[in-house]
Chain A
Amino acid sequence: MLSSLLLSFTDYRIVNTPKFIGFDNYTRLFDGTDQYFYNSLAVTFKYVILRVPLGLMFSFIVAFLLNMEFIRGKSIFRTIFYLPVIVPAVASSMIWIWLFSPDLGLFNSFLEALGLPTLNWLYSEETVVPSIVLMSLWGMGSTIIIFLAGLQGVPRSLYEAAIVDGAGAMRKFLHITIPMMTPIIFFNLIMGSIGAFQVFTEALIMTQGGPNNASLFYNYYIYREAFLFGEMGHASAIAWILFIIILIVTAIFFRTSKSWVFYESEV
């Protein structure tokens, strides 16, 4: 890690001895000499902003449903939702390429059957990032499990007390479940954001950053600089900026968490 910080101040192309060039790698990024930096930042932020809230909502809802007492075959559903996590990212990318296929894919057949206009999914600049977000929801198994564990940890006595007080399902959900779950939501928010900033495999396997750089995610950009262009020093600088961004975002979350995260032990 330290060596990468040092390398980020050098001109290092794997094959030469690193040469110290001060902040050149960084200024090249910020003054726009490197034409992909702002583009990849924008793409990545778009992904994070879409994916993190959607992912949290989706997995929370799924976990909540899986936790309902009246649902049968819960263990089967739980397995089904967790399964994608253990499927290798490369394999699942291949499956999704097929699902997204504009002419033969499942999604477009579905849209067609409903009489809706079809989409180009991964192959148009407008829909490529939302498509990858959609795909990521499929792999939210770990987050769902964490939510599920949290839901099961909410003391039943609270619900019983609420029922005695005459609270309905909605009130129980809003005033007991959600507040008791805030630490878990907070944890998943942090982990989800860190994960989202580092989205990579999809770009590598499915889009190679295209079309027209619309899915040039930050980590793919680092990979391309490092391993396709061999610019290790430059790539180190880019990686460090991501580290700082994630650090700042995490710090902001921690700051704001005071006002909404509820710790039972701190009552």
Chain B
Amino acid sequence: MKKAKRLTALALSAVFTMTVILTACSSDEGSPENQSGVKPPKDGEQVTLKFSFWGDTIEKKTVTEALKRFEQETGIIVEPMHVPSDYLTKLTTMVAGNVAPDLGYLSSGAALTWAEDGKLLNLTPLIESDPDFKKEDYLDQIWYDYAPGKTIGMSTAVEGYGLMYNKDMLLDAGVELPPTEAGKAWDWDTFIEYSKKLTLDDTGKNALDPAFNPNKIKQYGFQYDPYNMMAAVVSNGGNFLTEDGKGFGLVEPEAIEAIQKLADLMYVHHVSPTPLQTKSLPDMALQTKKVAMTVSGNWALQAFAEQDFNLGVGVLPKLKDSNTLLDGAPTVIFSSTKHPAEAWLLYKYMADPESVLPLIAGGLWMPLKKAWYTDPELISKWASGNKAHPEGYTESFMKQTLENGIRTPGFEVKNLAKINALVTPALDLVWTGKETAEQALKGVEPKVEPLIQGYYGR
């Protein structure tokens, strides 16, 4: 009897354990969050599309309004599905449960692999048969091709990188303002010198002073998320993979040199906070004068515009070539859609800068269409005369993105998530000052090599 009792208890706890483990993996979260405004179809031909997206409240509002306008203009009903967090988990579950939306945002890694498995629509035939759509009208770097000649579409928005700074701090320190033209970009030594001038310890000495105390820094010259090191790598002539796509590019001398130079900003020159020190900085480090200059993507301008300080922008300091990084997750059409033609209509509508103008003028996004970078009338609609786009923006961000924008590896490197699962811990060692770039990256190279599968569409 006693034994039976124990066995029952054991069995019960086993079942309990398994339930707990599995609920995490199999929970059905397929139901849309937002089903507002959906009317029953008037007749058999009424088309309803579901559009899924993420984003903050401003983005939610703008996108929802754009979808609404599309609905009014075309009579096609659109269900917005806003997923503020855990987006990929939710979409994965929906796709697995065969209730995928018709179209929506998707992270680049998932998009490219899902496209290979046929879960996303190849847009090439739609583009080629559409007289109203010219691929050349859009930036060249924003296309996500999963195979040569096969595309899943464009970035949802363009996100160029640049230098952002607190103008007052630079003026106070007597530092020349960062150039806004590619041809005049600071070289690395100039950049380090100015960064040192802007880095102060608790007694007010800057990092050029021999008596400077690097353990008591109260103001940093420069702050940057070093994991975003690709701009420096590419500026130095390197890349994530080798040109032929067969080798691990980050172990090439150009890449190692660039990565080491970023680490040296923290551990040799003491002008930049380590990842650890960054955790202690406030979000508004520029505004509160904890940091003088920072590198970030265009989206940061939206938040900066809401803060009250004298924001300036410039081009990134260069190693060899002046360039910028270009990022942005794609919007895709799922192949399970029953209405590809209507989905494509909506796709075009959302890719039109005019449809989402508040996000562009507000500083979160950069437009997808080339004309918005070249036509003064269109430029004046978003890139000048507002707080999110300070003086010099049109050169340092807009022109630089158009002319010298390099795609992040997410656009084209196969198997990137798995490679990064190895590279990121290796870089942890570099950014925490435990190993040199060469030691860490060469150390992980043998593990990375078997995972390299080359490039998508090139």
Contacts and interface: CB of A to CB of B under 8 A. Distances in A.
Interface stretch (B33-41, B112-120, B135-143): B112-120
A14 B92 contact: yes
Interface string B106-134: 00011001100111000000000000000
A31 interface: no
A24 interface: no
A68 B241 CA distance: 66
B275 A104 contact: no
A262 to B, nearest CB: 14
A194 B14 CA distance: 10
10 contacts: A15-B119, A102-B280, A124-B432, A211-B425, A212-B429, A219-B21, A222-B25, A226-B25, A230-B114, A251-B10
B74 interface: no
Contacts of A14: 92, 95-96, 114
Contacts of A105: 280
Interface stretch (B355-363, B404-412, B415-423): B415-423
Contacts of A251: 10
Interface string B3-21: 0001001100110111111
A24 to B, nearest CB: 16
B110 A123 contact: no
Contact of A102 (B19, B95, B279, B422): B279
For B26, B113, B275, B421, the residue with the greatest tally of chain A CB atoms inside 10 Å of its CB is B421
B21 A243 contact: yes
Interface residues of A, number: 46
A242 interface: yes
B13 A250 contact: yes
B276 interface: yes
B118 A254 contact: no
A15 B113 CA distance: 9
A211 B117 CA distance: 33
Interface residues of B, number: 44
Contacts of A174: none
Interface of A: 1, 4, 13-16, 35-36, 97, 101-105, 120, 123-124, 190, 194, 198, 200, 210-213, 219, 222-224, 226-230, 232, 235-236, 239, 242-243, 246-247, 250-251, 254, 266
A184 B335 CA distance: 54
B428 A247 contact: no
B375 to A, nearest CB: 40
Interface string B83-100: 000001100100110000
Contact of B447 (A35, A123, A228): A35
Contacts of A243: 14, 17-18, 21
Contacts of B57: none
A239 B23 CA distance: 11
B425 A212 contact: yes
For B18, B22, B95, B279, the residue with the greatest tally of chain A CB atoms inside 10 Å of its CB is B279
B17 A246 contact: yes
Contacts of B21: 198, 219, 239, 242-243
Nearest to B279: A101
A15 B425 contact: no
B72 interface: no
Contacts of A35: 422, 447
A61 B49 CA distance: 58
Nearest to B418: A229
Nearest to A228: B417
B211 interface: no
A134 B97 CA distance: 39
A123 B117 contact: no
B24 A247 contact: no
